[in-house]
Structures are given as C-alpha cells and as structure tokens.
Structure 1
Amino acid sequence: MYDGYWATTINGTLTYTPTTDIKECSHGWEFEQSDFIETDPTEHELVCDKSSYAHNTMSINLAGRALGTLIMPMIADKYFGRRIMFYVAVASYIIFTLPLLWVSHPTARLLLRFIQCCGFETNYLMPYVILMELIPPNRRDLTVMLTFVSWTLGMSSMSLVAYLSMHWKVISAVSIVPMVLSFIYWRMLPESPRWLLSKGRLRECADILFNIGAANGTKGTVTREEVEEELRDLSYRLPANEPLSRVFVYPKLRLRACMLFLLSFTQFPVYGVGVMSMTIMPGNYFMSHLILTLFEIPSVFVGLTVTHYFGRRFLAFSSLFLCGICCIVAPFCVDHMWKLIAVLAVLKLAVSCTLYLVFLLPSEILPTPVRTSGAGLTVVSGMLGMTFAPYLLQSGQGGTLQYWVLLGITLLGALTVVPIPETLGLVMPQTFLEGEELGRGRPLTAWIHKWNVHKYPAAPPHHTKEEVQDLMNGKA
C-alpha cells in the first residue's frame, strides 16, 4: 500500500497526505468471493509479499510428482511389483492430504504438498500397466481409452464439485474419497503375471493365469505342471533385475526410448497451456473448465478408433498436424473469448490424442523388466516440459506468444514420431532383445493399418540359445 503521513493544518485540522512510497499492508485484506468462498491463498492470505508462495507451491507439486514418478515405478519394477506400489502411492496421498486441511505453517505445508504429490502419477500408472500386461494386443488401445475416459470424467466432475462447494477444503476432502474406495479392490487387483515371471515367482504367476483361464471358461484344458514347466522355460530367457539404463545398450531401443521421452516433453506443455488458459480467460471459470475437459472425451474415442483401424503412427501425425493448425489460428482469436475457447477445445482434443499415444506406446515398446519405470520416466519428461506452461501464459509478452512457441514444439514432436515403429498388432516385448527386434520387417515408410497388418510380422523372431546367453552375459 502507499505510505503517507498525518499533519495538522494552520486551522488545526488533521489531514492525511499520501506519498508514492510503498509499505507493507497493515489493515488486512478483503477477497472477492463470487467464484469461491475460500481458497488456499485467501485463507492463508498469500498475497503481496507472500504471493510467491503460490508459485513455490506449484513448483513443489511438480517436483514431487517428477521425483515420485521417477523413483516409485523403478522400485515397483525391481522389488515390490505394480500392485503393492499402487497401494503405497494411494496411501501416501491420503496420509499427507489430510494434514493440509488444518496445518498452516508455510514450510510444513510445502513439505506436505511435496510428499502428497509423489504418488500422483503412480496412482494411474500401476493399475494401467497391470492391465496392459494382462490383455491381448488387440485390446490394448481399448484399455487406454477406458483409463482416459475415467480420467476425463473425474476432471469434469471437479467442475461440479468446485461449483457446488466453493471451498478448497471440500474439494480436497472429496479427492480423498476415491482413494479410500480403491482399497475395496485389495483382494481383486492381481499382480502382473509378466512381472512375477520376470522375478521367477512361477507359482504365483500360474495362479493368476489359472484364475484368468477359469474366468474365460478354459478351466481344465492344461495342468498346473504343464503351465509351470512352460513358465520355467520362459524364465530362462529373461534377464533378472536389469536397470532402466540397460535400454541404452541397444541402439534401436535407445533411440525409441529417447524419442518417447522427447515426445512427452513437447506435448505436456501443449496440454498444460490448454488447461491453464481457463484461469486467465474472462467469463465463467467453471464453464470454461467443463468445456475444455469434456472435449477430452471425444479424443479418447478418436484415439481408440484411429489406432485400431489406421495405426499408431497415423494418429500421431494427424493429431500433431491438428495441434499445429490450432496454434496458428489461436493468436487471431485472443480478442474473442468464445472463439478462443473453441480453438483451445479443439487443441485440447488433438493433444489429448497425442497423450493417448504417450501412455500407450511405452507399454508396447519397452520390455517387461523396465516397463513401469520407463513409462514413469516418460511421464516425468512430460512434467518437466509442463513446468514451462505457466511461464508461457504469464510471460508478459502479449497474448499470442505462447501459441507460436507451442507451434514450434509441436513440429519438434512430429519429428520424434518418425523413428518409432508401428506397433499395431505386435506382441509386447518381454526381453530386451525382443524390444530391440520389435518392428523388424515393418518399414517406417509403410502405412500399416488394420487391413494390411497381416502382411507384416506380429512378433520378433524366436531367440536362439546363443542370443539368450549373450543377453544374460551382458552382451548387446
């Protein structure tokens, strides 16, 4: 606030004279409450000299998500498996969200925010990877669609929750409810049989396979001894406890992994600008949020249809092309709110199609020993890119700069897709050799789709004993 001083005039009247000097506010604040009765910043008065706390909170959130998504999937791959790590991530969110409802000390709140966000992406990745490792190749795109629809419906429902509650504590409490309910599935959610096989836990792997067989009506077609013997033969081909860095020993696998990381890094900022734009657009905040989130639902059906019939690469190039068109059109709509919302909605639809692939392709390209840690690192790469989104929106360089920047990184994203093979109909690689050989016989210049996929090999060639021995000895 501006400083000033009191002085007595000649006739004895006491007057206050303001100056151009600035001093700390000393009379408290009043907050506009038409959208929210109470928010975290208004309750803790995070304004003026404390306004940087909000930016620190966002940085802490992203740092926690990045670190947790980097470490927790690696621990899952090496030690505990997908199932246990999923519940560890869920429990950590519940435990460290509840204190935020009453703790007021700034440092303590930042620490709680950091730990709370560590398991955020892991909550999604663990059951997702379990499903991807259980289902046949022709149903993987359907699984991604279902997880994306669930995610989008959850985001859309938050518009209604926020509108009805108008209080940040209610929103936080509601976010805990589905986490608590997930423990209902403790006995129903199986461990990934592929992971159990990679760890030599053959009996547990066989138990799950027999449960699947019973559910599918194939009970009694094979004996347990036959299944365990087949699993034992498969286990001899698998490297044990291989780190994610093993991917970089194989040239093709290394290139594809790096391209996946870079694709995620370029597309998460596009998604982030689409989401965060609603906070700076005039008009109804809740309606803007609802429109932009609902436009993700068509994207998952588009993603499922296009990947199933026309292939992964076709979806990647077409969605990135549409993103580029939206980035070119958006600067000319900044002065028209509804036109800009419409363009951003289409942009969000297109980039959601690309993110559909960001989650699908790592599970189809990376081998089982590092599948969850590789998928986690892919997401971490995206979150690192997403940290630039708020700075683009608040750059102060006009309302169009961010769209030209997004156009540039979208073009870069298109280049990353070029060396990635078409995975339509391919078997998920179990070993590093299978990951290196994935796509052999499928030219990158060929358009592979549902009607010609039978012309191309659906699995890598069988490994010889010498190749397996080279792998176990650490030879590329």
Structure 2
Amino acid sequence: MSIRSIKTAAALGYNVKCMENGDQNKRKESKCEDFDDILELVGSQGKFQKFLLYVVLCPVTAIEPVLALNMLFMLYEPDHWCNVPAGRVAVLVGNTIGRLVQNSEWILPLIQKVNRFYPQDYDLTIPSQYNWVCDKSEWATWALTFGGLGNAVGTIVYGMLADHKMVGRKPIFFLCLVLNVFGRIASYFFPSNFYVFLGLLFLTGTGFPMVIGMASLPLIAWLARDWFYIGMITTVPMVLVFGFYNYIPESPRWLISVGRTEEAALIIKKMAEKNGTSDKISDTQLDSMLKLIVSKQNQNRQRVGVWTLYSRPRLALKTTLITIAWVMNGTIYYAITLNSSNLSGNQFVNFFILAMIEIPAGYFGSVLVDKGGRRWTQVAFFILCAFASIVAGVASPHKHNEGWAIASVVGAVVSKFAITLTFLVVYLQATEIFPTIIRSTGSGFASTISSIIGIFTPYIVYLSKYNLGATWFAIVAMSIVGMVSSAFLPETLGQSLPESIEDAENFGKGTKFWSLVPKTKDEKPINEA
C-alpha cells in the first residue's frame, strides 16, 4: 500500500517576541515561538496551501499507489500445470478445452510449450509469457522482494539526503520520481533477463516514498489484460508530475531549521502574496523574525539521534513497543494486499473491495481514537484482524465451495478494515509519545525497521503455494504480537504530551494497565513520577 515519508514536527517552543503591523501604523506584540506563528500571519490555509493540496498533492497521491502496486497484477501467476502425463492430456485451443487425447506422444511437447496455462482473465502476465512457473515459481516472489529491499534502502539513504542542508526535500522528491518512472519503464523491457529485471526493480524500489488510485488499478488491469500495457498505462502518466516542478516549493520549515533563511523568506513572501496577506508582515519584520528563531534554535539545539531513543529504560521500552506495532501493521497490511490474488472469486473485484474498505476504516478510526482512546482501539482491532484472518485461513483451502469462498473473502475484507484502522492509530501514537525533539527520529526509526522487515512479506504470501490458509495463519500470529505490544503502550488521549526526553521517560508512569482512558490533564495528571 506504501509504504511513505514522515513529516517533521516543528514545535520548537522558543519564547521570542515578534512585531506585527496593525491598523493606522500601530504596532502590537504577538508571541512568536516557531514557524507556525509566522504561518498565522501569512495564512496557513489560504490559496497557496489549497493549490498545493488539491492541484498538486491529491493527483500525485491518487497516482502513486497505481505505480506502487501495478506489479501485483503484472506478476499474477495463472492456473497451470507443470507435468503433463503423456497418456492423458487436456488440449487447449485458444480458450476452448479440447477432448482428452490418448497416447499422443507427438502432442505433448506442443502442449508443454504453448498451451501450459488455463484460460484466465489476462491475455499475458510476466509469469505466463516468460514461464516463471514450476521450477521458476519463486521468481515473481523474488521480484517483489527486491522492490521491498530497494524501498528499505531508499528510506534510509534518501531520508538522510533529504535532511542534508545542501540537498533538501524537493530535489529528493523529484529524484525518487525519476527513478520510479524511468527505472520502472526500463524494467518492462527486461523480464527476459531476470537479473537485470531484479536490479531495475531494486532501483525503482528505492524511490517509493490513496484509496481512489488503488481502487482504479484493478479496472486498468481488467481492461488492459496484458502485463506490458498494464505497466505502461500505470507508469507513463507519472511523467506529468514533472510539470509541477516550478509549483512545488522547498519546505520553508526545513529551510529555517538548517539556517537557509533567505530562501525560506522568498517562499514565505510568495505564500503571503498568494494568500493576500502581504500587508500583515513587512520584509524587515520577516527577516528579523527568522533571525530570532534561528538564533534561539542554535542556542537550544541538542545533539540527538537514534541512540537517544534508547538512552533511558522506559523510553527504550516505548520505542521498542511502537516499532513492533508499526512493523506488524506494515507487514500485515502488505501481506493482505499481496495475498488478494489468492482469494476466491475475481481478482479485480477482490482488490477493488480491499481498496475501498479503507475509506470507512479511516472514518471509524478517527472517531474511535477520540472516544475509546488510542491504546485499546488498536488492541481491539488487532484482535478483530486475528479472528477475521482465522476465518479466511480456514475457508481459503475450500475455495471451490461457494460458501467457503464467500467466507474467505469476507474474512480478508474485515482483516483489511481492521489493519487499516490500527495503522492509523500507531502513526498517531508515535507522534504523541515521542517528544518534539525526537519525534521525527522515533517515527522514522519505526518506519525504517518496518520497511526492512517488509522485504520478507512476499515470502509470507508465497506460503499459500503450499497451503492457501498458511498466509492467513501467519497474519494471525503477527496480529497477536501487535496486540500485545500495543497493550503495553501508554494512553495519550487527553494527556499532557511529553516535551522533553525526561518527560518522555516518565510519560504514562503510574497508569493502571486495565484503565480504559486515564483522566485528562484537566482532571488529574497521569504522568506523576
């Protein structure tokens, strides 16, 4: 689904005074603690932001899963035979099953070479065209694995480059786009050379950072029917994103954090001009505000990193629990998506339903986390995912029975609903449990570990070749691990969230395990030592 980059929080907490122009040349003081206070002056939800959101980000977000998941359809392995008995052979002519031929030695080589696959929903997939079946049945799994390996490497390498003061977010975004589009197009011409194909998938995997785009993918695959056309139709449109190059600015928040205030000022002025707030702040005032923020930033800068996450025992435990929950969420989500091709019924319809179920999952997740809290919401839906996966696992081996087939699909859909909801919760928990100074580091660490473990997800799905229920029972085990790790995380709903490493160490201390939602910060703090 896809895995995606972590946004850096900017609550710096600087106690600085800024000046704001008032009517009739009067001046009034306003508190300027960070970049968010500058946004209040120039507009945080004006035309500038709406253009970026609706004209740029929404189309890119819609297209991205189409490119990220097109291999799921291109690598589909049709039903086939590996060894055809010489004495009794089913002859396929086009889409027609001929009669059985007795003792026809001459027809056997022709059948093994040409008519190896039963009629399917596709005219051609990569496995059917290049015979990635039988003794080569693992090749499709290898292809997905190398894409995941590239994703893990890209998360680390491009994440560091994006943070480097001489590079930044925008250049890395478009570098990833180049690798994805042109690397993926190049790979479509090399399935016959397996190792070149793997190398190109690894390269494009490094560039991977929605629902509508994901839901449109099975329609494209159903209409195209040929793996090459599926690939080109889902990849080439991404070239259009390069047209947004001049409209996507570098992150002014990040520019300020690395001291590149002149560039940040130009973007902020453009933002104010688009939002019609240029009269709210003068060039002199903006330059003064930026210098004050950078000055305070340098005074209060602390040397932190991944090691900081494990510098205190309780903080280390929370980091480990969040990482485990994140890994289980990511791996289960990806496994359910990949395993959609093994479900009973029509692959295209199944994938469409699994994509669309994310819409109600997102809605109910946003409601439940504010009603029942983060911790028990995630625990409850990990349990639901486990039970639904048991149903799918028991029913899947009986896919030719209509009742069992329906049960397996329902189990898969409920599992996808549950894991989509828990994924939203764990992301929210990470942003609230880690203090500002290590929030990006903590979330990035958990996401990176999830990407690394996710490399092996295609092999979890490959278990279905031995038993159609095996993948689902692996998901049950992962759901239980995720449930346990989530249960021991502290509740964050309505609490005074940590602002320092010491706060993060003591956060949740003294809370009873079986408490539903601890009393809010207005009633009685739960973070007492």
TM-score by shorter chain over 0.5: yes
Q: SS where residue 34 of structure 1 aligns?
A: coil
Q: Any residues of structure 2 matched to 1:21-420 within 5 Å, and which?
A: 27-79=113-165, 80-103=167-190, 104-120=192-208, 122=209, 151-177=210-236, 179-208=238-267, 215=275, 217=277, 220=280, 223-224=285-286, 225-239=288-302, 242-334=304-396, 335=398, 336-366=404-434, 374-386=442-454, 387-388=456-457, 390-391=459-460, 394=463, 398-420=467-489
Range that drifts further, 406-415 or 279-288: 406-415
State the TM-score, normalized to the length of structure 2. Answer: 0.67
Residue pair 1:152, 1:297 contacting (<8 A) in 2 also: yes
The residue aligned with 2:16 is none
Residue pair 1:195, 1:368 contacting (<8 A) in 2 also: no
Q: How far does residue 199 in structure 1 lie from its aligned partner after superposition?
A: 1.8
User: Which of 496, 500, 508 is matched with 1:434 structurally?
Assistant: 500
1:376 and 1:160 map into 2 onto residues whose CA distance is 34
Alpha carbons of structure 1 residues 55 and 442: separation in structure 2 relative to 1, 3 Å: closer
Identity in percent? 23
2:442 and 2:240 map into 1 onto residues whose CA distance is 28
Q: How far does residue 212 in structure 1 lie from its aligned partner after superposition?
A: 5.7
Matched letter for residue 411 of structure 1: I
Alpha carbons of structure 1 residues 237 and 271: separation in structure 2 relative to 1, 3 Å: same
Range that drifts further, 67-76 or 291-300: 67-76
2:408 and 2:232 map into 1 onto residues whose CA distance is 33
Residue pair 1:327, 1:404 contacting (<8 A) in 2 also: yes
Residues matched between the structures, number: 414
Matched letter for residue 116 of structure 1: T
Residue pair 1:76, 1:372 contacting (<8 A) in 2 also: no
Residue pair 1:92, 1:116 contacting (<8 A) in 2 also: yes
1:333 and 1:227 map into 2 onto residues whose CA distance is 62
Segments of 5+ residues of structure 1 without an aligned counterpart are 6-14, 123-150, 460-476
Q: SS where residue 310 of structure 2 aligns?
A: helix
Q: SS where residue 500 of structure 2 aligns?
A: helix
Matched letter for residue 345 of structure 1: V
Segments of 5+ residues of structure 2 without an aligned counterpart are 1-82, 88-101, 399-403
2:232 and 2:496 map into 1 onto residues whose CA distance is 42
Cα deviations by residue, 1:381-431 (Å, 9 ceiling, x for unpaired):
3344442464356256644444444333222212222453444578998xx
Cα deviations by residue, 1:137-165 (Å, 9 ceiling, x for unpaired):
xxxxxxxxxxxxxx222111101111111
Q: How far does residue 197 in structure 1 lie from its aligned partner after superposition?
A: 3.5
Cα deviations by residue, 1:34-69 (Å, 9 ceiling, x for unpaired):
311121222323234443322321221221122212
Residue pair 1:264, 1:355 contacting (<8 A) in 2 also: yes
Alpha carbons of structure 1 residues 328 and 419: separation in structure 2 relative to 1, 3 Å: same
Alpha carbons of structure 1 residues 247 and 4: separation in structure 2 relative to 1, 3 Å: same
2:271 and 2:489 map into 1 onto residues whose CA distance is 32
Residue pair 2:430, 2:439 contacting (<8 A) in 1 also: yes
Alpha carbons of structure 1 residues 158 and 318: separation in structure 2 relative to 1, 3 Å: same
Alpha carbons of structure 1 residues 454 and 266: separation in structure 2 relative to 1, 3 Å: same
2:151 and 2:265 map into 1 onto residues whose CA distance is 35
2:421 and 2:309 map into 1 onto residues whose CA distance is 26
The residue aligned with 1:136 is none
Alpha carbons of structure 1 residues 270 and 365: separation in structure 2 relative to 1, 3 Å: same
2:425 and 2:470 map into 1 onto residues whose CA distance is 27
Residue pair 2:361, 2:421 contacting (<8 A) in 1 also: yes
2:362 and 2:354 map into 1 onto residues whose CA distance is 14
Alpha carbons of structure 1 residues 2 and 164: separation in structure 2 relative to 1, 3 Å: closer
Matched letter for residue 175 of structure 1: T
1:404 and 1:61 map into 2 onto residues whose CA distance is 25
Range that drifts further, 405-414 or 210-219: 210-219
1:366 and 1:83 map into 2 onto residues whose CA distance is 26
Alpha carbons of structure 1 residues 398 and 47: separation in structure 2 relative to 1, 3 Å: closer
Q: How far does residue 209 in structure 1 lie from its aligned partner after superposition?
A: 5.3
